[in-house]
Structure 1
Amino acid sequence: MASLNDNTAAEEYFNQLRRRCNGIQVKHNGTFGKGVYADSEFQEDELILKDEILVGIQHSSNKVDCLVCSFCFRFIGSIEKQIGRKLYFNNMGLSGCCGGASSSSNLHSLPQGVVTSLMNGEMALPHTDKFPLPSPLSCPGGCQEAFYCSGSCAEADWASSHSLLCTGERSESVSRDALGEFIKHSNETNDIFLLAAKAIAFTILRYRKLKAEHVNKQANQSVSKQSLLLEAWKPVSVGYKRRWWDCIALPDDVDPSDEGAFRTQIKDLARTSLELLKTAIFDKECEARIHLHQFDYNKYNSEMIPIFGRDLVVASPVEDYFLYIDDLPDAEKDKAEEITRPFLDALGDEYSDCCQGTAFFPLQSCMNHSCCPNAKAFKEKRDGQAVIIALRSISKNEEVTISYIDEELPYEERQALLADYGSLASALNVWKIHQLRNLNFLYANIRTQLVTAVYF
């Protein structure tokens, strides 16, 4: 099998992906690497493609503000439960949005008994029947950390990655204790490692499935396990650009003379995370064949664990609910607001927090940046899919480009935001790496629009 960096092999893979997206193709050029090109003409405002998430995570801090399906990121529970949970955590000072309850919510706090009744479904708000949400389903592995909107999402997540990353009693991880240590380390440092773990688990499980299918077929022509492994890596490996510690911009509070030490410490942080993950989910066969412990020397080191950190944003139905109340006829509105206004005031400015996270979108990850783009990328409001719309007419064979940043910002700000990109395709994410023991720097608000090859 060809190397995962082989252009022909990568293009064949993307051609399979684009079968659901007529009119585009992924090609390589000598300047910017991969790019997306129009295979037919597009008119202004025409849909170019929708790109589904391959792997994604909700930010750990966002989980206290939004209860969503751990697989498709759809909001679950009820409007009452969403509001009640947020107020409950606000009262405990645990709001993930701003590090605690907002000043406005402090001025309009509600009795804890009222909040608990709302969260537990013992109290109903007016007109919430217009915004039904799926009932939460617990993780089949019993971890009490993952919840789902349906049995199909629970099964799909279990089969694709969660069976190895579940901390519950039915977990198929090698060591639940080690997995707990890995998750703790990721939450204390950078939850991009959780996305990396999900991609690795996805690949391990896909490799096992491919191997089983090959054995069942009893093919006359033998296929090496290494070839099956490379095939399993392909969905994420095609996005490889640069190593994480090489592509992030130097924080403002780090002197340029200390850049080498900074990047070494970031690399060591990734190495520690990798060692914890290996102990948690790698069986002997995977460790023997993937050789992740040899990442400084492995000939595949530039092809392994390639992940793009792209914004995952799913709008909250709570915003739609309060807008609906506000649009009611005056008499009906006044009656409803007698009940809803105290809750809206208690929520404060963050009443409609979105689900926020990071995900890998296979096709959007190949799109290059332009300061004068011909297309615009945004996230589907309900399911987080990447949607690409033409900003103007696009000719056949013309490259489809998007802007990674707000084009209206001043030049200096745009240059700063693009510092992590170089010529690489990615989208903006802001990461915060906390002060770590034995580290000399506080890596605060590091902009890592691209997080590729987290461990390599």
Structure 2
Amino acid sequence: MENLAVTVAYIGETKGKGLLASRDIKAGEVIMQERPIVCCQFSWNAAYNYLACDYCMRSLESTEDNVRRLTCKADLVLPFPECCPTSKDRQTKCPACGIQYCSEDCKQEAWKRYHMTLCTGTQGQNPSHPLVVLNEAWKQMHYPPETTSIILLARIIAMVRQAEDKAAVVNTFMQFCHRTVNEEQEIAHKLLGDQFSGQLEVLRELTSKAVYSDEVQHWLTPQGFQSLIALVGTNGQGVGTSPLAQWVNNVSNLELSPDQRKAIDLFIDGVYEELENVAGGFLDAEGSGLYVLQSACNHDCEPNAEQTFPLGDSTLVLKAKRDISQGEEICVSYLDECALSRSRHSRSKILKENYLFICHCNKCLSQAGDDSETSEDEDLSEDD
């Protein structure tokens, strides 16, 4: 973890802890850089052949292979192949189960942290293996767009099982918010509603079969399992990695003539247009991770910072969207751009169901009495 310009502090009774700027920060500046404690690719994302390192989520496809797959154009040729970020000669896999990694280092780290417990031990998927059964059950209960994965939860349990100091690892995860309800505001997490009680019990039983041990039995009781679901659901930070985005960035740093720059910009625009037509918004290898500092960063509907993944793996880089003064709270949006553009009512609904709080940022307070802010998109958001 590289902490550049933040301190964790108590913000107030409503927000609890948050991140404060420890110095003045300029717009566009990197505020901090952080690796996750654990991360995992989404189950359906992997099923749709978005090949990513099982440890750090770095894409395993070359940029050209990635674009050919997503545009369904097998003969598409990308210029400047030297700008492709993928190093296929470094890639490796678990010799027992065939899980793929971008490097030997990632394979060793995964084995040391959780994969020794979770390795299925068979090349390819054994449909009867308890972990495979668990993952397939999750997929049938949670269709794209995904927000978390049951395998992330399994990795948390496996990390405790493999740790020398098990109590310390449990304590690390319990420092994340793991409330199933916000009793003061009478809000329950959407994954834990009565309509999902049957699904949760199925998942709990399957998780117990896949990763049970005495050290984690407290997490596999009905109450403990709900706590774990709330933990990954509330704190999971979305991760997206793309060899195309990195290739575009590398191309932008090339020294080209004005005519060459114009031509490549038109080419890139055409590629993205074709991707939008064929693949829609599903361009990245996507997953979820748990980050210690990022989890302390509160939401604002007009954030002064944003999460980015410019290194092509699960390393989170927090950047300032505008100038931030020393002592000012650093806030991000927990909502995507589409959700942010919706009414206050819609934003509030999403935040309550996923993060167990009612937003009182300046934007929400200023729109509280505006009738136009309970508008047409409410009907749409009720079905999300």
- Name the TM-score, length of structure 1 as normaliser: 0.60
1:9-408 to 2 correspondence within 5 Å? 20-28=2-10, 29-63=12-46, 64-86=48-70, 115=74, 126-135=79-88, 137-144=91-98, 146-169=99-122, 177-190=129-142, 192-206=149-163, 209-210=164-165, 229-243=166-180, 247-249=188-190, 263-283=193-213, 285-286=214-215, 290-296=217-223, 306-307=231-232, 308-317=235-244, 320=247, 348-350=277-279, 353-373=283-303, 375-381=304-310, 382-390=312-320, 391-396=322-327, 398-405=328-335, 406=337, 407-408=340-341
Q: Deviations over 1:390-448 (max 9, x none)?
A: 3233233x4322232345443333333333234389xxxxxxxxxxxxxxxxxx9986x
| Coordinate RMSD, CA, aligned | 4.2
Query: What SS does structure 2 have at the residue aligned with 1:388?
Result: strand
Please state how far the C-alpha of 1:343 moved relative to its aligned partner: 12
Residues 67 and 75 of structure 1 are in contact (CA less than 8 Å); yes or no, is this contact kept in structure 2?
yes
Q: 1:266 to 1:386 in 2, by over 3 A?
A: same
Residue number in structure 1 paired with 2:349: 416
- C-alpha distance in 2 between matches for 1:346 and 1:388: 27
Question: Percent of aligned pairs with the same residue?
Answer: 20
Residue number in structure 2 paired with 1:454: none
Residues 233 and 304 of structure 1 are in contact (CA less than 8 Å); yes or no, is this contact kept in structure 2?
no
Q: 1:230 to 1:343 in 2, by over 3 A?
A: closer
Residues 57 and 285 of structure 2 are in contact (CA less than 8 Å); yes or no, is this contact kept in structure 1?
yes
Query: What SS does structure 2 have at the residue aligned with 1:419?
Result: helix
Please state how far the C-alpha of 1:156 moved relative to its aligned partner: 1.0
Unaligned 5+ residue runs, structure 1? 1-16, 91-109, 211-228, 251-261, 426-443, 448-456
Q: Deviations over 1:290-315 (max 9, x none)?
A: 3334444x7x9858983222211123
Please state how far the C-alpha of 1:85 moved relative to its aligned partner: 4.3
- Amino acid across the alignment from 1:201: A
Unaligned 5+ residue runs, structure 2? 143-147, 360-380
Residues 56 and 313 of structure 2 are in contact (CA less than 8 Å); yes or no, is this contact kept in structure 1?
yes
- C-alpha distance in 2 between matches for 1:305 and 1:409: 25
Residues 74 and 149 of structure 1 are in contact (CA less than 8 Å); yes or no, is this contact kept in structure 2?
yes
Q: How many residues align?
A: 334
Residues 53 and 362 of structure 1 are in contact (CA less than 8 Å); yes or no, is this contact kept in structure 2?
yes
Please state how far the C-alpha of 1:353 moved relative to its aligned partner: 1.2
- C-alpha distance in 2 between matches for 1:311 and 1:177: 28
Please state how far the C-alpha of 1:137 moved relative to its aligned partner: 3.2
Query: What SS does structure 2 have at the residue aligned with 1:167?
Result: coil
- Amino acid across the alignment from 1:82: N
Bigger Cα Rg: 1
- C-alpha distance in 1 between matches for 2:271 and 2:243: 19
Q: Deviations over 1:118-176 (max 9, x none)?
A: 7xxxx9765323325111734314323x31111101111122122222223499xxx97
Q: 1:178 to 1:126 in 2, by over 3 A?
A: same
Residues 44 and 393 of structure 1 are in contact (CA less than 8 Å); yes or no, is this contact kept in structure 2?
yes
Q: Deviations over 1:266-301 (max 9, x none)?
A: 233223212212212223x435xx3334444x7x98
Query: What SS does structure 2 have at the residue aligned with 1:25?
Result: strand
Q: 1:295 to 1:157 in 2, by over 3 A?
A: same
- C-alpha distance in 2 between matches for 1:320 and 1:293: 43
Q: Deviations over 1:227-278 (max 9, x none)?
A: xx3312123221124228964359xxxxxxxxxxx82342332232122122
Query: What SS does structure 1 have at the residue aligned with 2:97?
Result: coil
Q: 1:269 to 1:402 in 2, by over 3 A?
A: same
- C-alpha distance in 1 between matches for 2:23 and 2:238: 28
Residues 186 and 194 of structure 1 are in contact (CA less than 8 Å); yes or no, is this contact kept in structure 2?
no
Residues 63 and 247 of structure 2 are in contact (CA less than 8 Å); yes or no, is this contact kept in structure 1?
no
Residues 160 and 202 of structure 1 are in contact (CA less than 8 Å); yes or no, is this contact kept in structure 2?
yes
- C-alpha distance in 1 between matches for 2:194 and 2:313: 38
- C-alpha distance in 1 between matches for 2:103 and 2:23: 38
Residues 79 and 317 of structure 1 are in contact (CA less than 8 Å); yes or no, is this contact kept in structure 2?
yes
Q: 1:21 to 1:169 in 2, by over 3 A?
A: same
Residues 40 and 152 of structure 2 are in contact (CA less than 8 Å); yes or no, is this contact kept in structure 1?
yes
- C-alpha distance in 2 between matches for 1:202 and 1:317: 32
Residue number in structure 2 paired with 1:438: none
Query: What SS does structure 1 have at the residue aligned with 2:319?
Result: strand
Query: What SS does structure 1 have at the residue aligned with 2:36?
Result: coil
- Name the TM-score, length of structure 2 as normaliser: 0.70
- Amino acid across the alignment from 2:325: I
- C-alpha distance in 1 between matches for 2:313 and 2:272: 26
